[in-house]
Structure 1
């Protein structure tokens, strides 16, 4: 008498094996995965290592120089709110800034501390666990505050901006290198949900929130064309795996694949922007 497994169609057995493998390497299928779950999946960790050299931002490294220029802070202390593996913080330290770096994901903190120590920047960069919704640094602690693709993860964007405002010195500068979008869609909402970016703002949203938080001297630069080559690479590398995952019905378990391909296929519905504002 044939066993149940041998009587199962081979195609179904392959699908079940692939679903099992997906459960090991990709996200856990949570409807709204946390930031920690998103960044801790093996798919995320391997993808960031393979394509970005273990950096946690998808922009070209030139965006670090752009961010530094927009901060326009030649000395003093700055806050890196969502430091990832510490590469942006180290760049700022090499420019002469003292950086307080925080992150919410434990393995990011471990990586960042190792990187800072490896590059002999322990005296310029301090790395701590911190949720930027509830930071307790004293008022007027920093000359500048920045995010590099982390503000999109905020559960309460206005609360985060109000906290940044409190911690900045008068005349202090906030720079956000983030994304916004002009056209909503079901696919976009899937991507934002799976990467815990469901509060990504629509065009015009940053100016409104920053004004509500008390900031002035708002300016925005559209840097979309400058990061397009990187996003094109994501789209090309991920396209074939994405189509395979779609056929198997498991594409939602591979957050970075669906994000990379759909972002490129729907280029024009969103922007990569540099937002700058000042505390009066």
Structure 2
């Protein structure tokens, strides 16, 4: 257990601010962030996603994603993982309100208490930038996914997290923040497969650190195109290969 935060299930857990904890259950978060991200991730599949999948929500927080994951992916089994017992309690209450059975696990994403190759879809939304042991967490995501399973990854980048307003309102481990390109490189290095057709760079109002997109909404400025701006968000649907890499197959006969 963490000596500073013994109530959390991770030695490296960074506790959110009171405002942050409130915001993550707000209607603004649910409608303008969660819903939008899940719909965007659905659009990034090359074809149809797995039917009746086992779906793991890594960093499920207070369970506000459950209703949207159910609507979009219709999982036969939904697993929620979080390192904060209080958040898990709220997730259980949310599942009961929706009259839906959700398996909740208290666990650090870097040491998932989930069996190898047991998950079809792994949803990681706005969780990764909270994690200190990112390489270990990504390796765990790869481990628990079935061959051919998908990582649904949606993240804010360092360009957004390292701004005065976000640093003032929220709390993050700043030394692990990354750019959109660095996140994509990390996912590829782990062995996941994706093309640019499986990637999007949403430029949503809430991620504009300077003015939250106000000037653009007033028609006073046009948003810069992809390639001419520092991306604040990156979404990717990445697939675990059906066949393991050669170095995982062991020596040939």
Instruction: Answer whether TM exceeds 0.5 for this pair.
Output: yes
Between the aligned partners of 2:230 and 2:169, the Cα distance in structure 1 is 13
Q: Is the 8 A contact 1:35 1:196 kept in 2?
A: no
Counterparts in 2 of 1:187-266, with a 5 A limit? 187=164, 190=167, 194-218=171-195, 219-224=198-203, 227-228=204-205, 230-231=206-207
1:112 Cα shift?
0.8
Between the aligned partners of 1:204 and 1:232, the Cα distance in structure 2 is 18
Between the aligned partners of 2:160 and 2:24, the Cα distance in structure 1 is 27
Structure exhibiting the larger radius of gyration computed from Cα positions: 1
Gaps of 5+ in 2: 1-11, 213-228, 242-253
| Residue 61 (str. 1) matches residue 39 (str. 2) | no
Per-residue CA distance 1:249-277 (angstroms, 9 max, x = gap): xxxxxxxxxxxxxxxxxxx5442111221
| Residue 271 (str. 1) matches residue 250 (str. 2) | no
Counterparts in 2 of 1:177-196, with a 5 A limit? 177-181=154-158, 187=164, 190=167, 194-196=171-173
Q: 1:106 to 1:63 in 2, by over 3 A?
A: same
Which residue among 107, 110, 116 is the counterpart of 1:133?
A: 110
Q: 1:158 to 1:36 in 2, by over 3 A?
A: closer
Q: 1:234 to 1:45 in 2, by over 3 A?
A: farther
Counterparts in 2 of 1:1-280, with a 5 A limit? 35=13, 37-38=15-16, 41-49=17-25, 52=28, 55=30, 59=33, 61-70=35-44, 72-94=49-71, 95-97=73-75, 98-122=77-101, 125-181=102-158, 187=164, 190=167, 194-218=171-195, 219-224=198-203, 227-228=204-205, 230-231=206-207, 269-280=230-241
Between the aligned partners of 2:171 and 2:14, the Cα distance in structure 1 is 12
Aligned to 1:264: none
1:93 Cα shift?
2.4
Q: Which has the higher helix share?
A: 1
Q: 1:96 to 1:208 in 2, by over 3 A?
A: same
Q: Is the 8 A contact 2:119 2:149 kept in 1?
A: yes
TM-score under structure 1 normalisation?
A: 0.63
Gaps of 5+ in 1: 1-33, 237-267
Q: Is the 8 A contact 2:122 2:145 kept in 1?
A: yes
Per-residue CA distance 1:37-92 (angstroms, 9 max, x = gap): 21xx4333344455636x5x972522222234446233220110000111212322
TM-score under structure 2 normalisation?
A: 0.69
